[in-house]
């Protein structure tokens, strides 16, 4: 029978244990609807407010935008909107990776084609560039601190933009989340 009450007394013993764990990181594997988001929201606030003079950020990561928004909403409801004031955040993993890339570009650790330090990051090329089936896929790699455009030969056909269209878009400061991961993996 589902619990109808709210607050800490509504948590299962396992949820209480996970919520109150003194460890910085806790791995929770559980079925959908079992309370992982509730536990995550509680842990965010506990870390956020356990050492109010600590200048370090508490950052909660999720994979999808909808899950991130749900967690952000629950944190704000449980702990108040001030719990999410900078530098404390609830973001997607892709957002964190973009922030890291932007920082590396801004600090001059990496150099983007055209010397861009701010990028327009898309979910995919399909909505922006024409794609066609083929085995040649344009990619981004890092060579001595410079982001370079190369092509790889894939084992199977898939839809990709042409190397020329890809180069034009990247040189204009546009890429996808997959490209961000390619660049960061190349470090």
| CB distance 61 to 95 below 8 Å | no
Class of residue 5 by CB neighbours under 10 A (exposed 0-12, middle 13-18, buried 19+): exposed
Provide the 8-state DSSP code for 185: H
Name the domain count of the chain. Answer: 2
Pair (48, 116) in one structural domain: no
Q: Is 24 within a domain? A: yes
Q: Are residues 66 and 125 in the same domain?
A: no
Please count the other Cβ atoms lying within 10 Å of the Cβ belonging to residue 102: 18
Domain edge (last residue) among 56, 87, 118: 87
Per the DSSP assignment, residues forming a β-bridge with 141 are 148
Same domain, yes or no: 81 and 106: no
Answer yes or no: is pLDDT of 3 > 50. no
Q: Is residue 151 part of a domain?
A: yes
Instruction: Mark whether 122 and 169 lie in a shared domain.
Output: yes
Q: What percent helix, strand, coil does the chain show, rounded to 5?
A: 40, 25, 35
Would you state the pLDDT for residue 7? 61
In-domain check, residue 3: no
Predicted model pTM: 0.86
In a domain, residue 138? The reply is yes
Report yes or no on 39 lying in a domain. Answer: yes
Please check whether residues 81 and 154 belong to one and the same domain: no
Residues 102 and 177 in one domain: yes
* Helix 93-106 / helix 177-185 crossing angle, nearest 10 deg: 60
Q: 18 lies in which domain range? A: 8-87
Residue 111 is assigned to a structural domain of this protein: yes
HEC sequence for 71-112:
HHHHHHHHHCHHHHCCCCEEEEHHHHHHHHHHHHHHCCCCEC
Classify residue 12: in a domain, yes or no.
Answer: yes
Say whether both 54 and 134 belong to one domain.
no
d(Cα 184, Cα 112) in Å, to the nearest integer?
Answer: 12
Do residues 35 and 11 lie in contact, with contact meaning Cβ atoms separated by under 8 Å?
yes
Same domain, 79 and 19: yes
Q: Which helix (H) or strand (E) holds 143?
A: strand 131-143
Domain's final residue, options 62, 87, 112: 87
- In three-state secondary structure terms, 136 is strand
What tens digit of pLDDT does each residue of 4-52 get? 445 666 888 998 999 888 888 888 888 998 999 999 999 999 989 987 7
pLDDT at position 57 over 50 = yes
Which tokens go with 107? 């600090």
pLDDT tens readout for residues 127-152: 999 999 999 999 999 999 999 999 99
The per-residue DSSP string of 151-172 comes to: EEEEEEEEEEE-HHHHHHHHHT
Q: Are residues 101 and 180 in the same domain?
A: yes
Confidence category of residue 2, pLDDT binned at 50, 70, 90:
very low
Shared-domain flag, residues 122 and 179: yes
Task: Please report which confidence band the pLDDT of residue 55 belongs to, taking 50, 70 and 90 as the band edges.
Answer: confident
Do 24 and 64 lie in a common domain? Answer: yes
Chain position carrying tokens 């794609």: 131
> Which of 29, 60, 87 is at the close of a domain?
87
């Amino acid at each position: 029978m589902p619990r109808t009450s709210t607050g800490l007394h509504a948590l299962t013993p396992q949820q209480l244990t996970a919520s109150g764990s003194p460890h910085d990181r806790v791995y929770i594997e559980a079925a959908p609807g079992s309370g992982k988001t509730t536990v995550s929201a509680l842990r965010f606030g506990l870390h956020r407010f356990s050492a109010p003079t600590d200048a370090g950020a508490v950052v909660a990561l999720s994979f999808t935008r909808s899950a991130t928004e749900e967690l952000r909403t629950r944190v704000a409801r449980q702990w108040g909107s001030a719990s999410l004031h900078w530098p404390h955040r609830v973001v997607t993993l892709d957002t964190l990776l973009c922030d890291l890339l932007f920082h590396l570009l801004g600090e001059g650790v990496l150099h983007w084609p055209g010397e861009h330090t701010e990028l327009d990051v898309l979910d995919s090329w399909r909505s922006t560039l024409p794609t066609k089936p083929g085995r040649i896929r344009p990619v981004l790699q890092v060579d001595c601190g410079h982001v370079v455009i190369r092509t790889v030969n894939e084992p199977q056909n898939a839809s990709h933009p042409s190397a020329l269209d890809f180069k034009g878009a990247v040189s204009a400061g546009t890429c996808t989340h997959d490209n961000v991961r390619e660049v960061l993996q190349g470090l």
